[in-house]
Amino acid sequence: MVRVPKIVPWTSTEEYMGVGDSLYSDDAGERRRGVAIVKAWRARGRVPVAVDATASLVDMLDADTSRAAGVTGTRLRHMYAMAMIRFVNSIVDLEQKGAYAQSMAALASRIGMPAWFVELRHACTHEQIPSLAVLRAACEQALGWLGDYYWKKQERVMPADTMDRVRGALLAYKAAYDATRVTEEQQQAEHAGAFNAARAALAELLGVMHADAVRLYVVPVLLEPGLLVPEDKRQRAKFPDCAMPAGWARQWGGLFRLLEETWGATLVFEELLGGIAAALAPECGDAGIFAAVDSAPSTSHAAMLVAWVRWILKKHYVPGGESTVSIGDLLEVCLRSLGYYSRAVLKAVSDADPTLKRELKPFVDYMGRALAALVAADAAEAKAGKGVAGFSEQTLQDEERLMQERLKEALGGAAEDEDENEAMDVDAAGAQPAAAQTASGRWAYVAQDAWVPCPIGALSDGSIPALELPAWLDDVPLHATSA
């Protein structure tokens, strides 16, 4: 889906990651610089709670290390207590969802936060504030936890070959899964180990990726022929119903569960819907009703993608209720694109949501009439002889034969005399290669029985032609000079 740009206080990823490095630097001056940048970000707003908490804890530890005269231990304990309370509350409250509030301990356990952080927060709020030594240790451990659970995950920079690695892992997973679908129990046991190894390798690769990798790498690969879209066109869905082939979606259940465990169902399926929408409804202008651009999918490919839209809406969309996926962006993309594929997606949404069906009906009907008019116009243009002529192998051969005849007529007898002279020169030279027969500058056909495959740029005998200019041309001026 078209994602709304996320507003952040930093100007680039480099600045963001540089602040993380500064906050965890061994140099006190560098840490103070990181804290100062986060304070500037706070003025801009939208600072992630983990970044804000990290800066507060680092600032607290530095203030303790270089505390000014007159700062009592009690005052320092209160400052530590406030920093820890805000740290726990800001991080844990992000998980507080639903109609009924859950306990802090349960929420902390869900995100992997040590339970004693919650107990310390309770003591600082409702009981006696712990000792300075305990608070210092808690602050240091909290920074370590933020480093492991937040900052290190932001450092997952993908190499240039990430797309190939993702494609290879997914294809290996599918091949191992297909191998386990044999009837013999002995063969099933033999392939089970290979499948488990392929799944573990895929899980390890996905586990080191940022959430943006779903949109950038995973979804584009999944939508290629051979994965979610069958390689064999006969096994794909067909327009206009775009029904999912029997049993095809079931075999992808294990992969979808793995993706959901890694990133959550909402992110995975919303990004999948977004990728499908981008493929089916590109901004193609006047390219035609079937989005005839270089990156447009074939008709059977598009029908299969619409079938996946229907499947996702059936499994993860609840009309008028709490759904796993949101379809607002999907509708916007399709309504802004006049095309056969986008109309098919709108019909799929209409079938999934009766309320939206009434609202979308005027748009679907209008797109149907517009597409029918375009088809009629194209047919009339072709009938009038203005359409683009179709090409076949026979027409191309006829065109080549006609060009050869015209070339022979243009060269005339002079070409034949020149060819005879070249043949005499070859006989006189004796050892001159066959490539010299075309030294006059014209191309000549090689005898069919003598032709052998050769690299591009080489002659039929495997030699590399000398195409460089003679050395004496280096001293010739490009423009005439006056005396």
Instruction: Answer with the residue of higher pLDDT: 459 or 171.
Output: 171
Query: Contact 191/182 with Cβ under 8 angstroms?
Result: yes
Residue 336's pLDDT band, with cuts at 50, 70 and 90, is confident
pTM beyond cutoff 0.85? no
The sign of the dihedral angle between the CA atoms of 303, 307, 310, 313 is negative
Q: How far is it, in rounded angstroms, from Cα 418 to Cα 442?
A: 11
Contacts of 256 (CB under 8 A, 6+ apart): 268
Q: What is the pLDDT of residue 283?
A: 55
Q: How many C-beta neighbours within 10 Å does residue 316 have?
A: 17
Q: What is the pLDDT of residue 187?
A: 59
Q: How far is it, in rounded angstroms, from Cα 410 to Cα 389?
A: 27
The length of the chain in residues reads 483
State pLDDT tens for residues 205-249: 887 777 778 888 888 889 988 899 998 888 888 888 888 988 888
Instruction: Tell me what the mean pLDDT of segment 177-186 comes to.
Output: 68
Q: How far is CA 137 from the centre of its chain?
A: 42
In this predicted structure, which of 70-74, 240-244, 377-381 has the lowest mean pLDDT? 377-381
Q: For the stretch 118-155, what's the b/e string if a residue is b when 16 or more beta carbons lie within 10 angstroms of its beta carbon?
A: bbbbebbeeeebbeeeebbebbeebbebbeeebbeeee
Q: How far is it, in rounded angstroms, from Cα 1 to Cα 326?
A: 10
Q: How many CA atoms lie within 13 A of 204 on its CB side?
A: 8
First to last CA, the chain: 70
Q: What is the pLDDT of residue 52?
A: 93
Q: What is the pLDDT of residue 98?
A: 66
Instruction: Answer with the residue of higher pLDDT: 31 or 184.
Output: 31
